[in-house]
Structure 1
């Protein structure tokens, strides 16, 4: 039995994807506009070892499975047609596949692509979310290449959710490369600044500052003295150069250090933009307590992070594609869990909002940037890493659109006795 026949038997004859294989067989809709092509038996080995998203990712990242057409469209149709139906590979189908390519080739185990962070590599670095292990997890994702990130993120070098003012118009402008993403990232930083109530002369701590976008925005636009910290050495070096180029060295500084090593006390405001995902559920109380200790009375914290849609969901699968290829040791919690941890650390919650649709739009822009710069990106980081990013960003667009994940900003205040030092009505709406 040929591979396309097995594919058709598993998913049915009406799959909205064209499927082809190295044995010359074909199935599905040839006019679908998207095609999955099994190039070699190694792809089948990967799928046999892991008949799920991990196996598909290994096959694609290594180049043994090819996707022709828009990656988002492929993943959307697979989600709607295959995963939604709960289709799995039956034992009889595995036997048929083994017979078609030969038992020896079928059972031969193939090492994962080098882009995969295996559990063994992480386990050798100590306990989950220890300083050494966190540093390696951050290095794995963020120290890929500053040049590569510039191709994907654009001039702002901002790797967090932007804020758009017109959903329909923003979607229309994804392919235009006309500065819409830069405007939306500026709007995000300005929204954070207004929520924090930044004023000239204040001291701001930006934890997990990345390439220093918020650091430079606060210094340039609000004349605030800012310290940013990041575990990525490449980010810190890039940010230091950009700060000097913009003439902001008297107000802005980025250090390569763990947020846990920042001395307590003395900051008027703290921004945490995209760091909580790396903290871990059991460490949230200590995290928010440490930030509370770093603030003066009346100080504010703005926490901006990816969240899960509910607080009562079982723990995240830590052995899936995202943890293996993108964010090792990453964890997401529901907004209520984060808000409770902030409350228990002493923060009074003053505002919360969900920006998940904005993140789907942000990811679409990043994906379009990657496609525009594909050849240069492959030259810079290799085809395997570029493939990881293509699949990861398209999958995340789908996740935010379908409410699998969300993005919350939560504003907390370290009250000065009973005084929150907040206006009666917020000025940031």
Structure 2
């Protein structure tokens, strides 16, 4: 006898979760008073699960509206976080697969158009440009809805539990400025500068001559216009440029905030060597990036993140990054983990998206808005559960006779 759809999904997610499942065939399972309801709206959802088990199939079904979540999506992901097909007995897996297979054979749904498929040699300049454009050249207006006035798309640093997102982003920029010992008249290179938040902070708050580069044309245009609006064009500049094409050298400091994740492990050594070559002796590098919490034999990016969010992105453990920095010529002076701060940052971005949901959908479409809603909630959970981390690593290019330029204590 063919099993009801809700019972089939219930087999996968478990019988004891606080989630209600309601399916298109009228079947239901789970507690009646559940705060989160998972609605299976179409047999195409089962076809997607059959063709791509795990997060990719679920994401495709959610992005296309074939699965709906009533209630808080973060709460739904939190409840489902420990559910995997590996937790089902092999015999039951076969029965579930057999039930879903006819749906795939009947519908064979194509992947949504939003999936990224960059072409060319991985981490070549051309392919990196495609990957960055996929995520960042979406809509500056959309990002304003999500990020807020700071337009800063990296982990904030919350001085207190009650700090606002804007206060926390300003605190992050100031923390980096302090670690780099920025002072009036110095020269800063900010690689992967986004919408120019660090560049403008360095110029406005510390009188630094700051150059930012980004592969996103939309970011560069927005940032340069904002620099001019604030009257900072005498000190600050943002260029649409690959960091590898920066010709200037002799910088006092380099900041890399959220770029290393896009570099690729095979390019890490040349990446850090290039940054070291842009610095004067006793110049400092602050590398701020998402990391893997442990060293694994096989490191795979979640397929949903790889297809929809950060194509070609790769995460490395902090130990490997420090080793690569050290081998490239940096002495490591300080390191810290801001994992919990990134969870708070993502919660704030998620709240901004929900508050501006209708406007965001009007700007980029419901499918893309769903991608951002899903990935921010999932990433928040990842940081909370220590599946991913955020590290700042401070290094210095030593001068003659091993001089670092650091004070005896502190930065």
Does the TM-score normalized on the shorter chain lie above 0.5? yes
1:91 equivalent in structure 2: 94
Q: Which of 136, 141, 145 does residue 151 from structure 1 map onto?
A: 145
The offset of 1:105, in angstroms, is 5.9
In 1: Cα distance, 2:373 partner to 2:72 partner: 10
In 2: Cα distance, 1:408 partner to 1:97 partner: 42
Q: Which of 209, 223, 230 does residue 214 from structure 2 map onto?
A: 230
TM-score (norm 1): 0.92
The offset of 1:42, in angstroms, is 1.0
SS state of the match for residue 90, structure 1? helix
Q: Report 1:324-343 matches (<5 A).
A: 324-343=307-326
In 2: Cα distance, 1:6 partner to 1:361 partner: 35
After TM superposition, what 4+ stretches of structure 1 lie above 6 angstroms from structure 2?
none
2:65 equivalent in structure 1: 63
Aligned residues: 406
In 1: Cα distance, 2:105 partner to 2:249 partner: 60
Q: Which of 292, 296, 305 does residue 308 from structure 1 map onto?
A: 292
1:154-184 Cα deviation digits (max 9, x unpaired): 00000000000223x35xxxxxxxxx10000
SS state of the match for residue 244, structure 1? helix
TM-score (norm 2): 0.96
2:360 equivalent in structure 1: 377
In 1: Cα distance, 2:302 partner to 2:96 partner: 25
- 1:270 matched to 2:254? The reply is yes
Name which of structure 1's ranges 203-212 and 42-51 shifts more when overlaid on structure 2.
Answer: 42-51
Residue ranges of structure 2 left out of the alignment (5+ in a row): none
In 2: Cα distance, 1:338 partner to 1:412 partner: 11
Q: Report 1:269-308 matches (<5 A).
A: 269-308=253-292
The CA RMSD over aligned residues, in Å, is 1.5
The offset of 1:79, in angstroms, is 1.0
Name which of structure 1's ranges 241-250 and 82-91 shifts more when overlaid on structure 2.
Answer: 82-91
Q: Decide whether aligned partners of structure 1 residues 11 and 141 sit closer, same or farther in structure 2, where only a CA change above 3 A counts.
A: closer
In 2: Cα distance, 1:278 partner to 1:315 partner: 18
The offset of 1:15, in angstroms, is 2.6
In 1: Cα distance, 2:362 partner to 2:120 partner: 34
Q: Report 1:386-405 matches (<5 A).
A: 386-405=369-388
Q: Decide whether aligned partners of structure 1 residues 201 and 317 sit closer, same or farther in structure 2, where only a CA change above 3 A counts.
A: same
Q: Report 1:9-408 matches (<5 A).
A: 9-80=11-82, 82-83=83-84, 86-87=87-88, 90-97=93-100, 103=102, 106-117=105-116, 121-122=117-118, 125-167=119-161, 169-170=162-163, 180-310=164-294, 312-318=295-301, 320-408=303-391
Q: Decide whether aligned partners of structure 1 residues 343 and 15 sit closer, same or farther in structure 2, where only a CA change above 3 A counts.
A: same
Name which of structure 1's ranges 239-248 and 1-10 shifts more when overlaid on structure 2.
Answer: 1-10
The offset of 1:5, in angstroms, is 2.1
The offset of 1:33, in angstroms, is 0.2
SS state of the match for residue 87, structure 2? coil
